[in-house]
Amino acid sequence: MKEKGMSKYNVSIIVFFSMLYGLMSLTSCQSPQNTGKPAYSMFFMTTDERQFIWQTDQVDSGIIDPTKQGVILDRPARIWYYMLVQNGFYYFVDSKTEYLIKGKITDNQFLRLDSVYLEGFSYPDNACFLDDNQLLIVNHSVGRKKKSYAKIDVRDMQVHIGELAIEAPQGVFDNMSVGFVYRRESQLWMGYTYHYTNSKMGYGSADTVYVARFSYPDMKLLSVDKDARSTYPGNVNTAQQNTFEDEDGNFYFMSAPGIVRGANPKQPTAIYRIKKGENHLDSAYFYNISDSPIQNHAYGMWYLGDNKALVRSERKDLFNDYKEHYLLPHIEFYEIDLLDRAHVSKLDLPLDRGSSRTCVLLEDEIAYITINDGEGNNDVWLYRSKEQTLEKGLHIAGEIDYIFRIDRLYGE
């Protein structure tokens, strides 16, 4: 078999990072109105591993070649999937220097505007913007250490670093990951679990979902919920979104025990809920995706409205191991009803590939879904859940191997 694109670098290292590290994707907001600024940002990698960013006002039609029309990232260290986009700026941690970089595209160049040193944060575990300016990052703790967090005001890049009051790994578990961070007014939730990584056992995860609740902003631990029906809550959020809040203020997150995340595939991929006004997991709610008509593990989830969600799942009959998981087209998209488990419908899309992609953007009741199948069929598809319609939009031409991200550049 000829491995394309990612075969030129160490896939196992990328998979290791993708299982342990990541940042949290941004929630959807309204598109900018009459700002004169591009609305969207797309992030690509070519077959020879060059990386490009392209900014645009529309993604519903046309053809582009990012190698000719985009901006090459020639100076930054390779970013892969763990980039955040907020209010026209790009944020990522340079793994070699441990500096959080704030950048922007100006005059067709990617410029580093500011930075702040985050000691011990070479590969952030998870992150989210708590408001327009406050960025929270959780580090990847090496060994049996407690996790640290950094809260950064991105206006002046001032940082506060503290330690999370959750138990460090013990026994067979020698590391841990925080898979989601969610703030609701004066409280903050973190989903996490424990992992082992060694030459004898390989990589795997504990059989439990942990959800810690903190007071905010003082980060005092208030409670920890445990649920042994699945593991790895949230997973790598910048790689793929897997949390959301619905119209009623209920918070949903998906677990990821599959081979390229938790590596505990005997447990099911599942959706959990914390209801509005409640402080703990809703023990009565457990949506078992692996036992639904999907019958597979999933790694991405996006909210379509009206209790409908889009789920990105693997086809376990089309790949053999984690290397093929990244390289072979085998991924499908389904619409599910969060309250009616009989409603599961597969979208008529080409098979996708790549497990570390922020590949869906929701706006104005449209899901913009990016597909890259490794054969040059790189496209943005438009799915309208209410009308149940699907159409092809923007086509990406040129030597593009992966569409890492599609983001909104500016919020409300």
**Does 366 map to a domain?**
yes
Q: Is 19 helix (H, G, I), strand (E, B) or coil?
A: helix
How do residues 222-248 score in pLDDT, each as one tens digit? 999 999 999 999 987 767 899 999 999
CA-to-CA distance for 348 and 346, rounded, in angstroms?
6
Residue 27's closest CA among 348, 245, 195, 178?
245
Question: Residue 157's CB: how many other CB atoms inside 10 A?
Answer: 17
Q: Could you read off the pLDDT of 278-298 as tens digits, one per residue?
A: 999 999 999 999 999 999 999
The whole-number pLDDT of residue 18 equals: 39
Enter the DSSP assignment of 327.
H
SS3 category, 11:
helix
How much helix, strand and coil, in percent to the nearest 5, is found in the chain? Answer: 5, 45, 50
Q: How many domains does the chain have?
A: 1
Angstrom CA distances, 268 to 43, 341, 411, stand at: 31, 15, 35
Q: Do residues 340 and 292 lie in contact, with contact meaning Cβ atoms separated by under 8 Å?
A: no
42: domain CATH number?
2.130.10.10
Give the residue numbers spanning the domain of 249. 6-408
Domain contains 1: no
80, 94 contact by CB (below 8 A) = no
> Coil, helix or strand for 323?
helix
CB 369 within 8 A of CB 357: no
Q: Give me the pLDDT at residue 31, please.
A: 35
**136-195 pLDDT tens trace:** 999 987 789 999 999 999 999 999 999 999 999 999 999 999 999 999 999 999 999 999
- Between the two ends of the chain, the Cα-to-Cα distance in Å is 47
- Tens-binned pLDDT, residue by residue, of the chain (412 aa): 333 334 433 434 333 333 333 333 333 333 334 456 899 999 999 999 899 999 999 999 999 999 999 999 876 556 767 789 999 999 999 888 999 999 999 999 999 999 999 999 988 888 889 999 999 999 987 789 999 999 999 999 999 999 999 999 999 999 999 999 999 999 999 999 999 998 888 999 999 999 999 999 999 999 999 999 999 999 877 678 999 999 999 999 999 999 999 999 999 999 999 999 999 999 999 999 999 999 999 999 999 999 999 999 999 999 998 888 888 999 999 999 999 999 999 999 999 999 888 999 999 999 999 999 888 899 999 999 999 999 999 999 999 999 999 999 997 5
Q: How far apart are CA 105 and CA 265, in angstroms?
A: 41
DSSP at 131 = S
Q: Which amino acid is at 54?
A: W
Q: What is the pTM of this model?
A: 0.90
